[in-house]
Amino acid sequence: MANKILVTGGTGYIGSHTVVELQESGFDVIIVDNLSNSKIEVLDNIEKITGTKPAFENFDLADKDKTDDFFKRNGGIDAIIHFAASKAVGESVEKPILYYRNNLVSMMNILECQIKYDVANIVFSSSCTVYGQPDVLPVTEQTPRKDAESPYGNTKRVNEDILNDTVAANPKLNAIALRYFNPVGAHPSALIGELPLGIPNNLVPFITQTAAGLRDELKVFGDNYNTPDGSAIRDYINVVDLAKAHVVAINRLLSGKNKTNYEVFNLGTGFGYSVLEMILGFEKATGVKLNYKIVDRRAGDIEKIWADTTYANEELGWKAEKGLEETLLTSWNWEKYVRGI
């Protein structure tokens, strides 16, 4: 009998790609998502890719009663992958209470139900934002966490603490926090990808929407950072590579190979690219020229960060494989699919 995995936020960008990888690895998946930043049609496209439509329930995990009722009705869950969260850095600066309520309460509700209904394993979708602006690069798992640059980043940091403390108090629980760097790209089928509702907060959807003519110009937030070309640097990881790491993490927990009850891994490529390099990379990969404009820095953004992936590579046996131009081309193919271009 296949292991049953609950994927919260499973119709979202990273969640949907992870559901595909889980199903293709033989797992039985059930998704909970309130569709606040995704569309129900994602389920049909997951089915087109994998041949299986995952089970789905639509509710908000910040609702304690509904979360408890879900776990009461759905026994036999072997592990949880918790993606569901509000995730826009800029919006979190403007609406901090929304972010703290949604991101922290949903985590606490899930953990309470894990304990109550004997669900032993959880993989948490964390972020490199917990490092703030590091003093030393690249970032390892031992790099000190800093005060976050945004309420969004702080919710990831606080949720890590909640998770760590809960596991320490409940030895039957096992947790892995995966600290993502910057997920980009789309599934090679072009059937699922990043589709922000409203104005994008991430760079690549802004690039592809500008290329498709939905946006008049791409805004580059700052050209006076202490970087080679003045624009901010990030470690951009292909979303399919990232999704596969979740399957590895789930298998690690289910097989009991985790070394402690709470483990942390950085998921990135080990390379940093600037915003202007991303623009040039997209133009090279697609042949499409972008209209962009340098504007003031954006609140909550850090200057530069990229990962040291040695620990994840060696301990998990996982490595990011896809290159930047290949990844950016998948983003463009997805944009064209969505827009009917």
The DSSP bridge partners found for residue 177 are: 124, 264
Alpha-carbon span 177 to 155, nearest angstrom: 13
DSSP state of 136: S
152 is catalytic: yes
Peptide bond into 54 cis (omega under 30): no
Catalytic residue, candidates 152, 225, 236, 262: 152
Q: Per DSSP, what are the bridge partners of residue 220?
A: 294
Q: How far is CA 78 from the centre of its chain?
A: 21
Report which DSSP code applies to 58: -
Residue 267 · residue 309 · CB < 8 Å: yes
Q: What is the 8-class DSSP label of residue 216?
A: S
Give the phi and the psi of residue 272 in degrees, each rounded to 5. Answer: -110, 135
Alpha helix segments (H runs only) across the chain? 13-24, 42-50, 64-73, 89-94, 96-116, 151-169, 203-211, 239-254, 275-286, 310-311, 324-339
For the stretch 297-329, what's the b/e string if a residue is b when 16 or more beta carbons lie within 10 angstroms of its beta carbon? eeebbbebbbbbbebbeeebebebebebeebbb
3-state secondary structure of 237: strand
Sorted by sequence, the CB contacts under 8 Å of residue 289 that are 6+ apart come out as 283
Which pair of tokens denotes residue 327?
């990844």
Residues belonging to the active site: 152
